[in-house]
Structure 1
Amino acid sequence: MPPILTRLKFFPDTLVPIMIGIGLFCLIFSISVINPRNIGWLDNSDLLQHYLGWANYRDAPWTWPLGANSQYGHLTSSSIVFTDSLPLLAILLKPFSSLLPEKFQYFGIWYLVCFILQAYFAWLISKLLSNQFWLRFCICILLGSAPAFIWRVGLVGALASHFVILAAFYLTFTPDKKARPLYWALLMALTSWIHFYLLTIVSILWICSLLNQAYKAERLSQLINFSIQCLTIILLTLLFMAAAGYFMALGVGSKHFGIWRMNLFAFIDPDSWSYVLPNLSDSSIRLQIYEIEGRRFEGFNYLGLGLLCLSLLAIPSWFKNLSPIWLNIKRYRFTVVACLLLLVFALSNQIGIGTWHYDFAITQPWFDLVSIWRGSARMAWPAYYLLIIFILWGVTHSYRPKLKFWILSLTVLVQLGDSSAGYLKRSHQMATGGSSLTHFESPLRDPFWPIAGAHYARVLKADPTLYYSPLAKFALEHGMETNSASFAREDETKKALESKFINEALRLGPLDPMTLYVISPNSLIALSAVFNPQNDLLALVDNLIVLAPGWKNCQTCVLPKNGDGSNLKEITIVEPTLNTGQLIFFKEKGEGINYLSYGWHSSESWGVWSNGSEAQLVFPKIPLGAKTLHL
Structure 2
Amino acid sequence: MLGASVVLVVFGLGPLDPRNQGWLLAGPLGPDPVQLWLGWTYFARAPWGWPPGANPDYGLELGTAIYFADTIPLLALALKALRGLVEVPQYVGPWLLACGVLQGLVGWRLLGRATGDPLARAAGAGLLALQPMLINRMAGHTPMAGQWTLLLALWLALDPGRAARRGLAWGALLAATSLIHSYLLAMAVSIWLADWLRRVLARRPRLGLAIEALAVPAAVLAALWTGGFFLLGSGLDTGPGSDRGGYGTWNFDLLAFLDGGMWSGLLPDLPDPGHWEAGSSYLGLGGLLLLAAGALAWARRPMALPRRLWPLTAALLGLLAFAVTQRVTLGGALMAELPLPAWLLDRLDVLRNAERMAWPLAYALMVGAVALADRAWGGRRVGWLLLGLLALQWVDLRPGLAFRHGLVAGAPSGVPQRLFDPFWAEAAGRYVRVRAVPAVNMGEGWESIARFAAQAGLPTDSVYMARVDEVAAAALRARVAAELRDGRYEPGTLYVLRDAASLALARGSHDPTRDLLRQADGYWVLAPGWSERIAEGR
TM-score (norm 2): 0.93
- Aligned-partner residue type, residue 415 of structure 2: H
Distance between the aligned counterparts of 2:120 and 2:508, measured in 1?
A: 77
Match of 1:166 in 2: 151
Distance between the aligned counterparts of 1:175 and 1:360, measured in 2?
A: 38
In the alignment of these two chains, the number of paired residues is 521
Distance between the aligned counterparts of 1:274 and 1:171, measured in 2?
A: 32
Kindly indicate whether the alpha-carbon contact (under 8 Å) linking 1:114 and 1:162 is maintained by their aligned counterparts in 2: yes
Match of 1:254 among 232, 238, 241: 238
Q: 1:303 to 1:557 in 2, by over 3 A?
A: farther
Q: 1:546 to 1:115 in 2, by over 3 A?
A: same
Cα drift, residue 557 of structure 1: 8.2
1:367-382 superposed matches below 5 A: 367-382=345-360
- Aligned-partner residue type, residue 196 of structure 1: S
Q: Secondary structure of 1:516's match?
A: strand
- Aligned-partner residue type, residue 73 of structure 2: P
1:386-401 superposed matches below 5 A: 386-401=364-379
Cα drift, residue 417 of structure 1: 1.6
Cα drift, residue 207 of structure 1: 1.0
Match of 1:270 in 2: 260
Cα drift, residue 100 of structure 1: 4.2
Distance between the aligned counterparts of 1:41 and 1:557, measured in 2?
A: 40
Match of 1:14 in 2: none
Match of 1:566 in 2: none
Q: 1:264 to 1:451 in 2, by over 3 A?
A: same
Match of 1:341 in 2: 318
Kindly indicate whether the alpha-carbon contact (under 8 Å) linking 1:126 and 1:139 is maintained by their aligned counterparts in 2: yes
Q: 1:192 to 1:299 in 2, by over 3 A?
A: farther
Are residues 1:472 and 2:457 paired? Answer: no
More helix, by proportion: 2
Cα drift, residue 186 of structure 1: 0.6
Match of 1:357 in 2: 334
Q: 1:466-504: CA deviations, max 9, x gaps?
A: 231011001001100110011011111111121122111
Cα drift, residue 423 of structure 1: 1.6
Are residues 1:297 and 2:277 paired? Answer: yes
Q: 1:151-207: CA deviations, max 9, x gaps?
A: 211111110100000000000112341221111111011011100111111111111
Are residues 1:65 and 2:42 paired? Answer: no
Unmatched 5+ stretches in structure 2: 240-245
Match of 1:437 in 2: 413
Match of 1:82 among 58, 61, 68: 68
Match of 1:522 in 2: 501
Cα drift, residue 523 of structure 1: 2.7
- The Cα RMSD (Å) is 1.9
Q: Secondary structure of 2:377's match?
A: coil
Cα drift, residue 528 of structure 1: 5.4
Distance between the aligned counterparts of 2:424 and 2:222, measured in 1?
A: 42
Match of 1:462 in 2: 437
Q: Secondary structure of 1:89's match?
A: helix
Are residues 1:326 and 2:305 paired? Answer: yes
Are residues 1:138 and 2:123 paired? Answer: yes
Match of 2:511 in 1: 532
Kindly indicate whether the alpha-carbon contact (under 8 Å) linking 1:138 and 1:408 is maintained by their aligned counterparts in 2: yes
Distance between the aligned counterparts of 2:256 and 2:477, measured in 1?
A: 41
Q: Secondary structure of 2:495's match?
A: strand
Distance between the aligned counterparts of 1:20 and 1:278, measured in 2?
A: 27
Distance between the aligned counterparts of 1:40 and 1:357, measured in 2?
A: 41
Match of 1:281 in 2: 271
Distance between the aligned counterparts of 2:158 and 2:416, measured in 1?
A: 46
Match of 2:18 among 16, 36, 45: 36
- Aligned-partner residue type, residue 80 of structure 2: K
Distance between the aligned counterparts of 1:402 and 1:537, measured in 2?
A: 76
Distance between the aligned counterparts of 1:40 and 1:162, measured in 2?
A: 25
Cα drift, residue 145 of structure 1: 1.9
Q: Secondary structure of 1:254's match?
A: coil
Cα drift, residue 524 of structure 1: 3.7
1:89-168 superposed matches below 5 A: 89-101=75-87, 104-168=89-153
Larger relative contact order (CA 8 Å, sep ≥ 6): 2
Higher mean alpha-carbon deviation, 224-233 vs 91-100, is at: 91-100
Match of 1:545 among 515, 524, 533: 524
Structure number, greater radius of gyration: 1
